[in-house]
Chains A and B, each alone.
Chain A
Amino acid sequence: MPDKEQIIDLYFMDARCKLLEIAAYQDRVDRHEGEEDYRHHAFLKALEAMQNPSEGNTRVQAVLHSLSDHSQTPIPKATIQGAFGAAHSS
């Protein structure tokens, strides 16, 4: 299996590119008029979760948990068919 340096060789540039996209996305939201909605707040919270994953979670699990609906019972009826990527409660 590859060692750390080989993994960095394989993935650093790709991760760097995506990091810049995240930074640019935040700048873009900051720069434009209007109100942020719950998705952006969930995004920022997920970034924090990535930096500080709880015990037993990897960083990606922390992000996914942060963006998930944690309610436990079926809802009475669907009001939409799609999903938005972040739970209102996240």
Chain B
Amino acid sequence: MKYIEPHGHMVSRTTDDYLNMAMAGCEAICEPAFWAGYDRASVQGFYDYFRQLTEYEPARAAKFGIPHFCWLCINPKEAEDAGFAREVLSIIPDFINQPTVLGIGEIGLNKNTKSELAIFEEHVEIAKKYDQPILIHTPHLEDKLKGTKLIIDALKNAQVDRSRVVIDHVEEHTAGLVLDEGFWAGMTLYPESKCSPARAIDILEQFGNEQIWMNSACDWGISDPLAVVKCALEMKKRAYLPRQIEKVIYENPKTFLSQCPNFILPTD
């Protein structure tokens, strides 16, 4: 079945993962900038990372016939040092016109600190200045509810176009907060945290299948690059029709991502 992986950190994955995703029907991969598992020591480290995202990774994906796109930012885990974060923000415009850049992301909060929030708001201003969509990371575990509320308040204050913002990693206690305010919601399918396939389908049944997508957020941690297609199989077990499945795993992400001028699929 064809699907879009709207959130995968492929720089952390192997060529076997690309092969398996291609064979499973992946039509596009979108890679938000994220934490490398360690704090980078210099702005130059981010410069190199942004080159990896915009030059090298699209070439690697192309070897498997998958278009690769990316989002740019400094992630909230490295936003505690606001001075350093602002230096990284200053180089984002150097890359924003690269042909596979989709927007600003995954920005957001991690531990819900004042500095994280300030840098989040500055990212939003960059997105507004350059007319870019936004992909947002919500915090982990016990910090998610509070962080999601702080993020939504900040976005309201910034008066962003809500139809061009996706708030990711929603769970049952945050999906309604996001969707009721008119934002897009992303569900992340993780083996140990965030959503299982069964719970993601429960969320669809309770909150509807509009303005929502699912992703694997596969990275260097415990994660599964085939999580989206495995959830599609779970939907099939629950007697969803093929068109209902395709809406969630292909049409919905395509609808949101098509707001990004650079999101062009070969099949279009």
Given A75-B114, A77-B115, A83-B141 in contact, is the A60-B199 Cβ separation under 8 Å?
A: yes
- Tell me if B114 and A83 are in contact (CB < 8 A): no
Interface string of A58-72 (1 = CB under 8 A from B): 101100110111111
- Tell me if B142 and A84 are in contact (CB < 8 A): yes
* Chain B residues touching A, majority SS: helix
Given A75-B111, A75-B112, A76-B113 in contact, is the A64-B143 Cβ separation under 8 Å?
A: no
Does A74 lie at the interface of the complex (its beta carbon under 8 Å from any beta carbon of B)? yes
Given A60-B199, A61-B173, A78-B80 in contact, is the A69-B116 Cβ separation under 8 Å?
A: no
Alpha-carbon distance A85/B144, docked complex (angstroms):
10
Given A2-B239, A65-B173 in contact, is the A85-B141 Cβ separation under 8 Å?
A: yes
- Tell me if B172 and A74 are in contact (CB < 8 A): no
Question: Interface size of A by Cβ–Cβ distance < 8 Å?
Answer: 32
Kindly count the residue-residue contacts between A and B in the assembled complex, taking CB atoms under 8 Å apart: 80
Cβ contacts under 8 Å, A76 to chain B: 113-114
Residues 138 to 178 of chain B near chain A (Cβ within 8 Å): 139-146, 149-150, 171-173
Chain B interface residue bracket vs A: 20 to 34
Does B77 lie at the interface of the complex (its beta carbon under 8 Å from any beta carbon of A)? yes
* Chain A residues touching B, majority SS: loop
Instruction: State the B residues within 8 Å of A (CB).
Output: 77, 80, 110-117, 139-146, 149-150, 171-173, 198-199, 202, 206, 237-239
